[in-house]
Each structure stands twice: as structure tokens, then as C-alpha cells.
């Protein structure tokens, strides 16, 4: 098990603060992120590290820049400051695998950030767990229909 770091704890505190300010439960945030509420608790306590993708989704949900989570707090100490990458290193890292899938890229090109945020906020406002599950199933079904042969929607 990894040792809890001050940056993980700081990020977790900021997640909890935003979640509480927006009155979103750990369960709802977990559903949006695709994790259990226990995992959200671990993120908030800094026990487990949160992925960049999940942190990005949290930032979008609460309408803050991702940099919000990395603003130093009083008493924060960076354990291992990273050296500035060279231009060559940056270019190599961009060429590595791990980017979005072609389907994800296509989906993102069809929906604006504002649309995605609007859908996410509306989804989080639904209290009924069963209704949220039905909505997810409906969206997946519609996505399949909208991408079939003869589809003209963009």
C-alpha cells in the first residue's frame, strides 16, 4: 500500500469541500465517476490517488479549473518536485499510448463542454437511483441507435 502524500490529501480535501458546497453526496459523485462511495471516501482522505481523468470530470462537474486542485495551501510541501521537461521529452510523451479511444474522440467532437456539463449537472440532480440507472441505459441505447447505418445526426 502506498504512503499517503500531502498532495493526495490536499486534493482530497478540495474534492470534499467542492462536493459539500454543491451538496453532492459521496454516492452520487461515485456514480458519476463510476466508483463506489467508499472509493470517493478514500480519494477525499488522500488514502488512494485519483486519476487525472477522474479529477478532470470532478473539475467539470463543479465548474472549476483542474488547477484548482493543485493550488498550494499553507503548509503544503512538495515531496519530490518534478524537473521541467525538455521539448524533446514533451514531444515523446505526447506520442505514447494511452490517449482517448477513437470512439471517445468522436463523441467528444460532437458535444460541446457546455452540453456535457448541462447533462452532468442534470443527472446529478436526480435523487432516485433507479431512475438514474434507467437514464444511463436509455442514453447507451440511444447512442447505439444514433451511430447505426443511415444515421444523419451529428
For the chain, the structural domain boundaries read: 6-70, 100-146
CATH of domain 6-70: 1.10.260.40
pTM of the full structure: 0.50
The radius of gyration of the chain from alpha carbons, rounded to an integer in Å, stands at 18
Residue 147 has what pLDDT? 66
Q: Give mean pLDDT in consecutive 10-residue pieces for the chain, a chain of 154 residues.
A: 73 94 93 94 93 91 88 56 54 47 54 72 82 87 72 52
Closest CA to 69 of 59, 78, 61, 79: 59
Residue 11 has what pLDDT? 92
Residue 86 has what pLDDT? 56
Residue 96 has what pLDDT? 46
Amino acid at each position: 500500500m502506498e504512503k499517503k502524500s500531502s498532495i493526495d490529501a490536499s486534493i482530497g480535501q478540495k474534492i470534499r469541500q467542492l462536493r459539500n458546497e454543491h451538496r453532492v453526496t459521496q454516492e452520487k459523485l461515485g456514480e458519476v465517476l463510476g466508483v463506489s462511495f467508499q472509493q470517493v471516501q478514500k480519494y477525499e482522505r488522500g488514502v488512494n490517488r485519483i486519476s487525472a481523468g477522474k479529477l478532470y470530470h470532478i473539475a467539470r462537474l463543479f465548474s472549476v479549473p483542474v488547477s484548482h486542485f493543485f493550488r498550494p495551501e499553507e503548509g503544503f510541501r512538495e515531496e519530490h518536485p518534478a524537473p521541467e521537461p525538455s521539448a524533446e521529452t514533451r514531444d515523446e510523451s505526447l506520442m505514447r499510448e494511452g490517449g482517448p479511444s477513437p470512439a471517445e474522440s468522436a463523441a467528444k467532437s460532437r458535444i460541446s463542454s457546455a452540453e456535457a456539463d448541462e447533462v452532468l449537472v442534470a443527472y446529478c440532480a436526480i435523487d432516485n437511483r433507479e431512475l438514474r440507472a434507467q437514464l444511463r441505459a436509455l442514453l447507451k441505447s440511444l447512442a447505439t441507435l444514433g451511430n447505426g447505418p443511415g444515421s444523419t445526426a451529428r
